[in-house]
Structures are given as structure tokens and as C-alpha cells.
Amino acid sequence: MEKAKIYITRKIPEEAIRFLQKDFEVKVWEEDRPVPREILLKEVRNVDGLYVMLTEKIDQELLDYASNLKAVSIMAVGYDNIDVSRLTEKGISLTYTPGVLSDTTADLTFALLMATARRITEANRYLLEGKWESWGPMLMAGQDIYGATIGIIGMGRIGEALAKRTTGFDMKILYHNRNRRPEIEERLGAEYRSLDDLLRESDFVVLLTPLTPETRNLIGERELGFMKPTSILINASRGATVDEDALYQALVNKKIWAAGLDVFHHEPVPKDHPLLQLENVVALPHIGSASIVTRKKMAIMAAEGLRDALLGNRPKHMVNS
């Protein structure tokens, strides 16, 4: 019997490719950059399964080309690049990689928070540029982390893993979420707040919510206006949850103290983007889950999802059912 065909849009860890090759005919986009749209539209024509990253837009146009497509698997926990309702209408399954990246992403989020509060990248640049002439009483003085109040917006798996880390720093934990999480309130002492109250009370506001129509531009001029001039905004979710123009104004006008950003509206963010010109911004290239072990686990998990969906077994982590 002819093997079902799979297209993988990026070079992923070898073990995940070998795993899929056992049951399927596999083609991989070998270059270390996202597959160009016109090539993806061509490749998708006769495949049964598509293994994608967050860099590919899976929309109506692509689905019009994909006459054999039965399953899509994304090597990510966020899938805002995928039109899930269109997939569902066409009976195409979507699998993803929740859970496996939560701790790694929480580690990075906390590292970004610390780097922003203690001006790590700015201080490093200062030293490398030969500006360090003497120790100074207020040289590169930042904000304290221990004992501060953190406000986590989006108390899912990653939010919970981040909250756990903050307890070692005696931080007060506030959270805002679609649903209250009594077990986290009990276990970690987290307190629920409305969005506005969380913004008013927190020293660190951390965005970890998925991007949905409700969370798009969740933090704009009005919301930034509630934050304290000493507060720090950290975004490790999706860039579009924050109005970047409003954030720029808030940072320039010292309405808030600093921002740590792992994500941007348009990625890769251009080098001349106004936010990247500010000293009180720490910017990273969307590396929340980027540890070697975790990325390998994600690659295998996405492969397992695709295999199960194509072989007619119920996948463990399915977005639509």
C-alpha cells in the first residue's frame, strides 16, 4: 500500500524525522529559514499531513490548495497562525505540543524579568562599549525582584510554572485569567485580580496568555496608564497582545520603567524598530521554549500527534476534535 505523504516545513531534530519515516513518505524543507509561501502552497497540494511551525500561516488560501490534507501538527503550544475553524470544517485535525515546554518557557520568562529589572543587557553593552570608568553608587541601579508583586496575565501551565519560580523570591503573586484557579490560589498563595487591579498593584506585569480575538491588543494606552512608573512589563506570549506604539510611548514618557519582550507583532522584528532603540527594553528573538532538550521533546510530540492522526488513532494533544 502506498504510504501517506507528509511535508515538514523546517529542519527539525533528526529523531522526529526518522520517527515519521517509519510510516510515511516524508519531505522536509531543508533550509534554515521559513519555507516561502509559494513553495508551501505547491507542496501542500498532494500531502496527507503537514508538520508546521508558528512561522506558517495556515489559512483558507492554503487549504484551497490542500485537497488531500487530513492532519496538521504544529511544533508549538500556541496556534494563532492557524485558522482552526476552517480546519475543523474540512475535517482536518490539528495537534500541538502543550505541557512539554512549560518549565523551559517559565525559566526564560523569569530570566527575562530578572534581566530587565537588573538592566543586565544594558550593563553588558555599557561594559563592552568601554564606558565603565569606575564603580558608581547608582551605576546601573535597577528594581528589586525579591519581595515584589508579580501580576501574571494568563494562568495556564506556563503561568503556573512561573508562579512556582517566584515563590523562591518571596514575591506576592497576583493573576488574571479567564477562569479562576482555586488550586493555584491554595497551593501558591496566588490572588485573583481584575485586569485593571492587577495592573495597578503589580511591580511586574507578565503576559502569558494565548493570542485570541479577546487578547489581541489587551495591553494598550489605557492599561499601561494603570501601571506604576516603577513597573516592568514582560511579554512572553505573542506580540499582538500588546499595542507596540502605546508601549513605546509609555516607555519614552516614563509611564512605566522598562519592558522585557520575547515576542513582537511582526517577527523577526526589524533592527530599526523603535522599541529596540530604547535602553529600557530587553528584547529577545522569541526563544521562550528554546532549550535543546525541550525543542527535541516538542519535535517528537508534534510527530507523534501527526502519526496518530494519520493512522486513525486518537492523538493525545488535539486542538479540534
The C-alpha cell that represents 290 in the structure block: 528554546
**Residue 314 annotated to the active site:** no
Q: Is 9 in the site for ligand DGY (CB under 6 A)?
A: no
**Residue 210 neighbours by CB distance under 10 Å:** 16
Kindly tell me which residue out of 35, 62, 77, 115 binds ligand DGY, with binding defined by CB under 6 A.
77
Binding piece for ligand DGY, criterion CB under 6 A, among 19-27, 75-83, 178-186, 277-285: 75-83
3-class SS of residue 27: strand
Question: Of the ranges 76-84, 122-130, 218-226, 270-278, which one interacts with ligand DGY (CB under 6 A)?
Answer: 76-84
Residue ranges of E strands in the chain: 5-8, 25-28, 49-52, 71-74, 93-95, 149-153, 172-176, 191-192, 204-207, 232-235, 258-261, 281-283
Residue 155 lies near ligand DGY (rule: CB under 6 A): no
Taking the least distance from each CB to ligand DGY, the nearer of 76 and 247 is 76
For this structure, is 238 an active site residue?
yes
Which lies closer to ligand DGY via its Cβ, residue 116 or residue 289?
Answer: 289
At residue 260, what are phi and psi to the nearest 5 degrees? Answer: -120, 120
295 phi, psi to nearest 5 deg: -65, -35
Site for ligand DGY in 45-74 (CB under 6 A): 54
Query: From the list 4, 20, 63, 76, which residue makes contact with ligand DGY (rule: CB under 6 A)?
Result: 76
**Catalytic, out of 119, 157, 181, 238:** 238
Separation of alpha carbons 319 and 88, rounded Å: 10
CA torsion sign for 35, 37, 39, 45 is: positive
Query: Do the beta carbons of residue 70 and residue 309 sit within 8 Å?
Result: yes
CA distance 191 to 169: 17
- 289 makes contact with ligand DGY (CB under 6 A): yes
Binding to ligand DGY by residue 300, rule CB under 6 A?
A: no
The closest alpha carbon to 34, from 13, 54, 6, belongs to 54
Q: Which three cell numbers stand for residue 315?
A: 492523538
- Nearest approach, Cβ of 273 to ligand DGY (angstroms)? 19
Residue 8 interacts with ligand DGY (CB under 6 A): yes or no: no
To ligand DGY, the closest distance from the beta carbon of 172 in angstroms equals: 27
Please, what is the minimum distance in Å from the beta carbon of residue 176 to ligand DGY? 20
Interaction between residue 288 and ligand DGY (CB under 6 A): yes
> By CB under 6 A, is residue 101 in contact with ligand DGY?
yes
Q: Answer yes or no: 25 catalytic.
A: no
Of 157, 286, 295, 317, the active-site residue reads 286
Total residues contacting ligand DGY by CB under 6 A comes to 7
State which residue, 166 or 209, has the beta carbon closest to ligand DGY. 209
Cis-peptide, bond into residue 315, ω within 30° of zero: no
215: left (phi over 0), alpha (psi -120 to 50) or beta: alpha
Question: Which residues are at the interface with ligand DGY (CB under 6 A)?
Answer: 54, 76-78, 101, 288-289
Q: Which residues carry out catalysis?
A: 238, 267, 286
